């Protein structure tokens, strides 16, 4: 079966994007996997440091690997937003397929230095267990939390010059730039019709610039609440991976509330949680179609 790097190369060649969806428990994993299988698209499962702490680092790796093996399916695991080198090593040794070292809050030089070190650690640990780990680094500022927030944070957009300097100095496989994307959902997106808009020309410029510097892949974080057409345009312009998390968390919560309301006397979790998995499945289906519409 193809590894993650080959899946990304294939997506890049066809100018479509691989969907990345976060989980903290099984209803989300089941919903995401059901949607991916229905469309037969590869998929990446993400676990942030908080999600990893809740599930367990090795348990997260075992869960995703079990699906890959049982269904002979291209499903992969990313250590999303990893902030320390110790946690990079921990995820690499546990068998993660991808690691995002996020030093975007650090001063520029320090982000470069630590990301380069994270790449070295991840690749060395990966070689130790026969795994070709894909390493991602992040620049710019797109907000911190996948939550519902009242106000838009001050975004710091990335430039092609900064992107080239970063990929050359760190040797990352994947770059996560700031191109109008943003973590979290604004209240006006949840209760109204506000939408995030991506800077498509900027995506194309950064893609061309880093491609010439030997970095082929890009990730768009914070996809929740983005205008539908922008997803497809971003994939066409060179985004290889697109992340969606906050919307799934919102669907999970609504699904749990629905499950509890429908069955007020029920105590079996597997009878309460199906609406949460179903809400997540529907969103993932819709987003995967958009990411692959190019």
Interface positions with Zn ion (CB under 5 A): 221
- Kind of pairing between the strands at 18-22 and 43-47: parallel
Which residue bears the tokens 């700031």? 178
> Least distance to Zn ion from the beta carbon of 69, Å?
27
Cβ neighbours, 10 Å, residue 172: 25
Longest dimension (CA), the chain: 61
Closest CB to Zn ion among residues 83, 221: 221
> Least distance to Zn ion from the beta carbon of 130, Å?
28
φ and ψ of 82, to 5 deg:
-95, 125
Question: Which DSSP helix (H) or strand (E) runs through 232?
Answer: helix 228-237
Tell me the residue nearest to Zn ion as measured from the CB: 221
> Least distance to Zn ion from the beta carbon of 38, Å?
25
Which residue bears the tokens 């996997």? 33
Nearest to 290 by CA among 247, 246, 248, 236: 236
Closest CB to Zn ion among residues 52, 221: 221
Closest CB to Zn ion among residues 80, 205: 80
The CA radius of gyration of the chain, in Å to the nearest whole number, is 18
Contacts of residue 47, Cβ cutoff 8 Å, sequence gap at least 6? 22, 23, 24, 55, 60, 77, 78, 79, 80
> Least distance to Zn ion from the beta carbon of 183, Å?
6
Please, which residues bridge with residue 98 across strands? 78, 134
The number of C-alpha atoms within 13 Å of 51 and in the hemisphere containing its C-beta is 26
Closest CB to Zn ion among residues 64, 273: 64
Question: What residues are labeled active site?
Answer: 80
> Least distance to Zn ion from the beta carbon of 79, Å?
12
CA-to-CA distance for 280 and 111, rounded, in angstroms?
Answer: 34
Closest CB to Zn ion among residues 14, 197: 197
């Amino acid at each position: 079966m193809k590894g993650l790097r080959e899946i990304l190369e294939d997506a890049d060649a066809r100018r479509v994007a691989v969907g990345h969806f976060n989980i903290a428990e099984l209803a989300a994993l089941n919903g995401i996997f059901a949607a991916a299988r229905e469309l037969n698209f590869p998929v990446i499962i993400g676990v942030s440091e908080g999600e990893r702490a809740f599930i367990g680092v090795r348990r997260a790796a075992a869960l995703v690997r079990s699906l890959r093996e049982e269904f002979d399916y291209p499903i992969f695991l990313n250590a999303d937003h990893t902030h320390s080198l110790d946690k990079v090593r921990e995820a690499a040794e546990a068998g993660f397929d991808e690691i995002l070292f996020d030093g975007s809050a650090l001063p520029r030089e320090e982000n470069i230095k630590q990301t380069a070190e994270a790449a070295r650690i991840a690749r060395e640990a990966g070689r130790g267990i026969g795994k070709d780990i894909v390493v991602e680094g992040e620049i710019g500022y797109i907000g911190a939390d996948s939550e519902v927030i009242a106000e838009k944070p001050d975004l710091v957009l990335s430039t092609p010059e900064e992107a080239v300097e970063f990929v050359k100095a760190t040797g990352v496989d994947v770059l996560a730039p700031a191109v109008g994307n943003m973590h979290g959902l604004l209240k006006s997106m949840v209760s109204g019709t506000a939408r995030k808009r991506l800077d498509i020309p900027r995506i194309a410029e950064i893609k061309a610039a880093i491609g010439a510097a030997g970095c082929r892949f890009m990730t768009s974080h914070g996809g929740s609440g983005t205008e539908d057409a922008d997803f497809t345009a971003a994939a066409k312009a060179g985004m290889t991976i697109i992340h969606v998390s906050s919307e799934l968390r919102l669907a999970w919560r609504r699904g749990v509330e629905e499950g509890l309301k429908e069955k007020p006397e029920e105590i079996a979790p597997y009878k309460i949680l199906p609406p949460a998995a179903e809400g997540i499945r529907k969103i993932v289906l819709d987003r995967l179609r958009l990411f692959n519409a190019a």
